[in-house]
């Protein structure tokens, strides 16, 4: 039997499909398609098409792939080719889709002060660092903070033919915010319907470029504005931010319930201020409680995407217009944000896969 005959492409493909990618901690088959498996003179050539951005870690995949198939008879080398393309995720109402935007991710919290905006902007930057095209909409109309965090607070968006605004770019992320249209001293004394209408206009009348992900930094709470946005904006999935303390967890539950009522999948929970490490002595302490994020994630059968420390540098960098991931994406905290971003990207791919499976209904008719 020849080497080519003994090295069945289907056997190689099967091994690769089940290979757990170290950078993502998921089987390759869940986030990619294996194709063009070809064997010649002991050299295996394969093309893997990923459904999420891979720029930061794909270089390490060759070693994993080689380790998975090197024991097969006659295998002498492997030539790996990869590509990736983010697909548009399923939404309840496709007719409301935003032009050029594939996936909309709402970052929400049941209450203010839990680090929602900091999480939203670092999530956007982390997805950008993976290679994706990313935008962010600052939907906190009464307290917009994204312009300051991106270091572009004094700029004004260009208007195209009096019809659309060009988003402002900060650290490679395309952004729009009410903060670009008013001064810091202008109070937004608007009732809920007015604020909701203004935010929909910001979203719909922005000339977004081709975006793999659009992050919406939602206002805190679960009131009229949040409910209207959740119903009328084609959100692909939501990330709920909380702190470990019981009062924050109660409000986070309300946020999860809100998204469930409007059929928006919750991609997971981010626990902020999970622990504090003293900068002088190194003592670690759970100031706001311990394990709260995991408990709420378990209660709602959704993953805990990550637990972030209470870190002075995170606040300082965000206030300075250069958030953690933009300032030093190799730092320990930035690595946590990048892990969260990868888990969000994986969750969206899995969600799309589940939506593509037909539902078979059996009746007595």
Compute the distance between CA of residue 80 and CA of residue 62 in angstroms, rounded to an integer: 7
In order, the DSSP letters of 90-131 are: P-S-GGGPPTTB--EEEEE-SSSSSSHHHHHHHHHHHHHHTT
Of the pLDDT bands very low, low, confident and very high (cuts 50, 70, 90), residue 1 is very low
Contact 34, 48 (CB under 8 A): yes
pLDDT at 203: 86
Among 190-199, 215-224, 268-277, 278-287, whose mean pLDDT is lowest? 190-199
Chain mean position to CA 180: 24
Q: Which of 86, 6, 83 is nearest to 39 (CA)?
A: 6
Of the pLDDT bands very low, low, confident and very high (cuts 50, 70, 90), residue 107 is very high
pLDDT at 192: 56
Inform me whether the pLDDT recorded for 51 exceeds 90.
yes
Inform me whether the pLDDT recorded for 94 exceeds 70.
no
Q: Which of 300, 303, 293, 250 is nearest to 272 (CA)?
A: 293
Compute the distance between CA of residue 36 and CA of residue 14 in angstroms, rounded to an integer: 13
Compute the distance between CA of residue 130 and CA of residue 342 in angstroms, rounded to an integer: 8
Question: Domain limits of the chain?
Answer: 3-84, 94-355
Q: Given 3.40.50.2300, 3.30.300.130, 3.40.50.10490, 3.40.190.10, which CATH number is that of 3-84?
A: 3.30.300.130
What does the pLDDT look like over 280-294, one tens digit per residue?
777 777 777 677 788
Inform me whether the pLDDT recorded for 194 exceeds 80.
no
Dihedral pair phi/psi, residue 28, rounded to 5° = -55, -35
Inform me whether the pLDDT recorded for 197 exceeds 90.
no
Contact 72, 12 (CB under 8 A): yes
Average pLDDT over residues 200-214: 92
CATH 3.40.50.300 fits 94-355, yes or no: yes
Across 138-147, 248-257, 315-324, 355-364, the highest mean pLDDT is recorded for: 315-324
User: And the tokens for 359?
Assistant: 């539902």
Across 98-112, 122-136, 173-187, the highest mean pLDDT is recorded for: 122-136
Inform me whether the pLDDT recorded for 346 exceeds 70.
yes
pLDDT at 191: 57
Contact 103, 233 (CB under 8 A): no
Contact 172, 128 (CB under 8 A): yes
Compute the distance between CA of residue 268 and CA of residue 265 in angstroms, rounded to an integer: 9
Q: How long is the chain?
A: 365
Inform me whether the pLDDT recorded for 180 exceeds 70.
yes
Inform me whether the pLDDT recorded for 22 exceeds 60.
yes
Contact 252, 238 (CB under 8 A): no
Collapsing DSSP to helix, strand or coil, 265 comes out as coil
- Whole-structure pTM value: 0.90
pLDDT at 175: 96
Of the pLDDT bands very low, low, confident and very high (cuts 50, 70, 90), residue 185 is low
pLDDT at 358: 45
H helices, E strands: number in the chain: 13, 17
Contact 51, 35 (CB under 8 A): no
CA-CA-CA-CA dihedral for 334, 335, 338, 340, to nearest 10: -100
Compute the distance between CA of residue 240 and CA of residue 267 in angstroms, rounded to an integer: 8
Of the pLDDT bands very low, low, confident and very high (cuts 50, 70, 90), residue 363 is very low
* Mean pLDDT value across the chain: 85
Inform me whether the pLDDT recorded for 205 exceeds 80.
yes
pLDDT at 32: 96
Average pLDDT over residues 22-31: 95
pLDDT at 361: 44
Compute the distance between CA of residue 239 and CA of residue 222 in angstroms, rounded to an integer: 14
What does the pLDDT look like over 212-253, one tens digit per residue?
999 999 888 777 777 777 777 889 999 999 988 777 788 888
User: And the tokens for 116?
Assistant: 């929602």
Who wins on pLDDT, 338 or 220? 338
Region of 36 please: left (phi>0), alpha (psi -120 to 50) or beta.
left
Q: Which of 160, 167, 102 is nearest to 132 (CA)?
A: 102
Listed in sequence order, the residues at least 6 apart from 197 whose beta carbon sits closer than 8 Å to its beta carbon are none
Average pLDDT over residues 40-66: 92
Average pLDDT over residues 269-285: 80
Task: Using the structure block, give the residue that is written with the tokens 């056997």.
Answer: 11
pLDDT at 144: 86
Q: Beginning with the edge strand found earlier in the chain, give each strand of the sheet holding 77-84 in spatial order.
A: 32-40, 43-50, 77-84
pLDDT at 286: 75
């Amino acid at each position: 039997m020849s080497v080519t005959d003994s090295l069945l492409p289907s056997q190689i493909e099967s091994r690769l499909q089940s290979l757990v990618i170290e950078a993502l901690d998921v089987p390759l088959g869940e986030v990619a398609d294996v194709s063009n498996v070809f064997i010649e003179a002991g050299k295996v050539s394969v093309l893997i098409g990923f459904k999420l951005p891979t720029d930061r870690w794909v270089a390490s995949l060759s070693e994993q792939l080689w380790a998975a198939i090197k024991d097969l008879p006659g295998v002498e080398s492997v030539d790996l080719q990869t590509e990736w393309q983010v697909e548009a995720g399923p939404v309840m109402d496709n007719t409301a889709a935003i032009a050029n935007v594939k996936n909309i991710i709402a970052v929400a919290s049941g209450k203010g002060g839990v680090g929602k905006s900091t999480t939203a902007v670092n999530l956007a930057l982390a997805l950008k660092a993976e290679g994706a095209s990313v935008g962010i909409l600052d939907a906190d109309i009464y307290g917009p903070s994204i312009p300051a965090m991106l270091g572009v607070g004094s700029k004004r968006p260009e208007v195209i033919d009096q019809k659309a605004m060009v988003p402002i770019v900060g650290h490679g992320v395309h952004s729009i915010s009410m903060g670009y249209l008013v001064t810091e001293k202008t109070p937004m004394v608007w009732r809920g319907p007015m604020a909701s209408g203004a935010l929909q206009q910001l979203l719909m009348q922005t000339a977004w470029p081709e975006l793999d992900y659009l992050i919406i930094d939602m206002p805190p709470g679960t009131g009229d504005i949040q409910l209207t946005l959740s119903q009328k904006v084609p959100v692909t999935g939501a990330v709920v931010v909380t702190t470990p303390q019981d009062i924050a967890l109660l409000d986070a539950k309300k946020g999860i319930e809100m998204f469930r009522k409007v059929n928006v999948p919750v991609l997971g929970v981010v626990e902020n201020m999970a622990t504090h490490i003293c900068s002088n002595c190194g003592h670690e302490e759970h100031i706001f409680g311990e394990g709260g994020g995991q408990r709420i994630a378990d209660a709602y059968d959704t993953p805990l995407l990550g637990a972030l420390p209470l870190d002075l540098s995170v606040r300082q960098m965000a206030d300075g217009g250069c958030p953690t991931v933009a300032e030093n994406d190799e730092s320990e905290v930035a690595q946590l944000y990048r892990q969260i971003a990868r888990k969000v990207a994986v969750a969206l791919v899995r969600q799309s896969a589940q939506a593509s499976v037909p539902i078979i209904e059996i009746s007595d008719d």
